Structures are given as C-alpha cells and as structure tokens.
C-alpha cells in the first residue's frame, strides 16, 4: 500500500472491474485488530461509519460483533457485493457514492473506520470530512495490510520480473526483513497518517498498533490478488497478462506459492 499525495482517480475506480476476484483473493483483517478498534472506540451501541467499504472485507467482522454501520462505497459493483456479503446483518446500511460527496445529514458517528481506503480520499478534505462526521470524542480507525516476502530468493526473483515489466510498489516489492517493529513502518513507503493527523490539530490520543502473522498464498490465489490491485488493473490487458504469467513462473519454480509476512497496521485517534 502506498499513500499518494494526490488521488489517482483512474486507479481509484478500477476495483469494480474485478469485484468478485477482489472479494475472493484479498486478505482480511486480524480479529485482534477489530477488537482493538472496538475497545478504543467504546461505541456503546452508537453507529460506525465506514469509508470505502469495498466488498466488506472489514465490514463483516465488525458487523458480526454487533456493530451498526453506515458504509460509503463509491463503486456500484463493489457496493453490490457489499450488500450481498452483509445481507444477514440488519444493522448495516450501504450508501453508493464517494465520501467527498456524502453528507452525514445531521448524524454524528462514534467511529469512522477505513480499511486500506483512506489514501483514496481527497487529502485536502479528508480530515475536515472525518471531523464533521464524528461526535465529540468519536474515534478514527485507519488500517492497512502491508506485506513482505519471507523468502529472500523468491523476493529477488520477483524483483527481476517487476523490473523487466516496469512495475513498482507491488505487494512482493519488499522483503519481510525490511519492515520495522512499529505500526506505519512500511519499508520507506509513504502513507502513514500520523503526521497529517497531528498537523490537523483537532484530534488527540493518537496511537499505532501492529499485528503480524504469516500468510501463504498458492499461485492461483496470489495471481488473483495481484489482478485485483489498481497498479495491475490500469495496465493494458496484454501487459497485465505478461506480468502475471512471469510472476506465476517464479512462484511455480518455488513450490507453487509465496509465503508473506502479513502486517495489520492500525492508526487510532479521536476528536478532541
């Protein structure tokens, strides 16, 4: 995950093309992370707001614990899967549209959460929008799933594939050893929101929490995961097919998959 300084709308709007693949291949979020968010937010029955809910990878574990949610998702194809995945939860409501155009309508929420989506929100407005949506003392929970390759040989071989095809910022672009111990240490990648949030000045009690686990993908699932990413979606079909085919050859030569160190990095803050 990278956090661009401006929002590339061409990339932000491609996920719906492969909504089913996205839903099947993307990793979810650690149960411990969900528990951390709810303990911090102390909702007490208040409703949470989810920004860029996608197909519900984060929505479902919160809903399973009884959290009522309003989910804002800009892509109607993703929102259709989100509705399907949350149909059994009467407390989940879905709004199709961008967070920048959505209005709380006088409501104030106890929690705003964004799972690997905050970097797609307009950087010039996102903290204003969050502040306007939250009740006094309301919590912000932003989280991502950065990953690092555990096997240095696999990492080196995939780096050659990426260099050959001019790819950068891929999930296998960093070895697991390059990550530090603290949340937000993403091997030099930008995007961790702490500095931006502190600079805003309207939020306090800032925290970072990291959970980690080993995650192994077989070749088919990993290719599906890559195919769901914006940096692969914006490639021409021929170029995307070539990159994925060369990636598959590396994985098949190394046991038919890839072992990743999977981090769940959580940023927490609350309205003063």
What is the tens place of the pLDDT at every residue in 53-90?
A: 999 999 999 999 999 999 999 999 999 999 999 999 99
In a domain, 219, yes or no: yes
Average confidence score pLDDT of the chain: 91
The pLDDT of residue 18 is above 80: no
Highest mean pLDDT: which of 23-27, 30-34, 153-157? 153-157
Q: Which residue has the higher pLDDT, 181 or 149?
A: 149
The predicted pLDDT at position 181 comes to 87
Burial (CB < 10 A; 0-12, 13-18, 19+), residue 270, is buried
CA distance 75 to 55: 10
Structural domain span for residue 188 = 9-271
pLDDT at res. 230 = 82
Q: In the predicted model, is pLDDT for residue 1 greater than 50? A: no
Q: How many domains, in total, are found in the chain? A: 1
Domain for residue 33, yes or no? yes
**Phi, psi (deg, nearest 5) at residue 206:** -75, 135
Give the whole-number percent of the chain exceeding pLDDT 70.
Answer: 90
What local confidence, expressed as pLDDT, does residue 260 receive? 96
- pLDDT(15) > 80: no
Between 9-23, 117-131, 190-204, 216-230, the lowest mean confidence (pLDDT) is in: 9-23
Alpha-carbon dihedral sign for residues 249, 251, 257, 263: negative
Q: Are 118 and 4 in contact (CB under 8 A)?
A: no
* Cβ neighbours for 234, distance < 8 A, ≥ 6 positions apart: 10, 11, 14
Residue 213 included in any domain: yes
Indicate whether 3 belongs to any domain.
Answer: no
CA 122, 229, 78: angle at the middle one, nearest 5?
70
- 4 falls within a domain: no
CATH assignment of the domain containing 223: 3.40.50.150
Per-residue model confidence as pLDDT tens digits over 217-246: 999 999 998 988 888 988 999 999 999 999
Token pair belonging to 272: 């003063």
Q: What is the pTM of this model?
A: 0.86
Q: Is residue 1 part of a domain?
A: no
Residue 139: per-residue pLDDT: 98
Separation of alpha carbons 235 and 242, rounded Å = 10
Q: Is residue 110 part of a domain?
A: yes
């Amino acid at each position: 995950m990278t956090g661009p300084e401006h929002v590339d709308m061409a990339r932000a709007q491609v996920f719906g093309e492969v909504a089913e693949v996205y839903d099947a291949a993307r990793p979810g979020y650690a149960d411990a992370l969900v528990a951390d968010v709810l303990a911090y937010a102390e909702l007490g029955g208040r409703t949470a707001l989810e920004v860029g809910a996608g197909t519900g990878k984060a929505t479902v574990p919160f809903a399973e614990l009884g959290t009522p949610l309003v989910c804002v998702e800009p892509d109607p194809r993703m929102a259709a899967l989100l509705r399907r995945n949350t149909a059994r939860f009467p407390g989940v409501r879905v709004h199709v549209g961008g967070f920048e155009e959505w209005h709380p309508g006088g409501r104030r929420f106890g929690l705003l959460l964004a799972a690997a989506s905050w970097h797609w929100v307009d950087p010039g407005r996102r903290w204003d929008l969050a502040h306007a949506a939250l009740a006094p003392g309301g919590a912000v929970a932003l989280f991502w799933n950065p990953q690092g390759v555990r096997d240095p040989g696999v990492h080196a071989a995939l780096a050659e594939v990426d260099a050959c095809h001019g790819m950068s910022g891929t999930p296998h672009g960093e070895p697991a050893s390059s990550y530090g111990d603290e949340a937000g240490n993403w091997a030099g990648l930008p995007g961790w929101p702490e500095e931006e949030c502190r600079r805003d000045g309207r939020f306090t009690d800032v925290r970072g929490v990291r959970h980690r686990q080993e995650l192994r993908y077989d070749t088919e699932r990993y290719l599906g995961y890559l195919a769901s990413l914006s940096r692969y979606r914006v490639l021409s079909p021929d170029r995307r097919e070539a990159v994925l085919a060369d990636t598959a050859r590396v994985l098949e030569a190394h046991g038919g998959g890839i072992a990743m160190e999977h981090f769940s990095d959580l940023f927490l803050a609350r309205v003063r």
